[in-house]
Amino acid sequence: MTALTLTEALRRRRRRRRLLVRTLLAGAVLAVVAVAVPGLVRLADAVGTMTADATTDDAADAGATDEAADATTTDDPGAGGAGGAQGDAAGGSRPSVLLVNADHALPDDLGAPDLVDLVGTVPVSGSGVQVAAELVEPLRQMLGAAADAGYPGLYVNSGYRSAEDQRELWDTAEDRSLVQPPGHSEHQTGLAVDLADLEPDGASLADSSSGRWLADNAWRYGFILRYPAGKEEVTGIAYEAWHFRYVGPEVAEICQREGLTLEEYAGAA
């Protein structure tokens, strides 16, 4: 074999060796890929599944949070004391706890109450005494309970007043500490009544046992003694043992238990 031929043979041998090495390397790479790719696919699938599950869980958690928030914001005057309903009382969103006094006029958008004449329903001073329809049953129950307790002489002396009636009363009042100007009277809501007693034990309602019974028990029927003694600076009105305001059983119980006027309950005092 000549030098050229030997050199060529060596070159060919080197080329075959390099080709073999390359083939082996390629095979190794393919083997690694063959092993790794399914694992990567499975890993990608697992990550995708975990991401989807997390997204679903987050959505469920968000829904639960929204539901909890909705439940938390449910309006409940009795929940957490008086605070939940104080905003309603001051803002007037619930007519039964609407605050009306010298500083808080009747809202302009407050519609006329659905009035009912009390004749034939409860003891009353005469025809024409009307109240908001929601008061009829509580009044009947309260005066019935009073009669059962030994005070059958209690009756409704006054109820709803129109703006014109309130204007006349204001203009002719000798003592305006006992009356509110038109637009500022609870009587215009139909939710207030003045009570009297045919048999007051020889005393005024303020000093009679029937008056004390009312002061102690009216809350059970959703009424509060609106202008109690000792609260004149808060209410702006002198003590009126006869004036009761319907606010509903829940609010009435809070006011009775904590000794609150409607101003204090509403946070306006």
Residues recognised as catalytic: 240
Residue 167's contacts (CB-CB under 8 Å, 6 or more residues apart) are 182
Calpha distance 134→132 (Å, rounded) = 6
Supply 177's token pair: 């500490």
Instruction: Please choose, from the candidates 184, 182, 113, 119, the residue with its C-alpha nearest in 3D space to the C-alpha of residue 156.
Output: 119
The interaxial angle of helices 83-91 and 249-258, nearest 10 deg, is 110
Instruction: Please choose, from the candidates 120, 92, 130, the residue with its C-alpha nearest in 3D space to the C-alpha of residue 247.
Output: 92
User: Positive or negative CA dihedral for 187, 138, 76, 80?
Assistant: positive
Phi and psi at residue 126, in whole multiples of 5°?
Answer: 170, 180
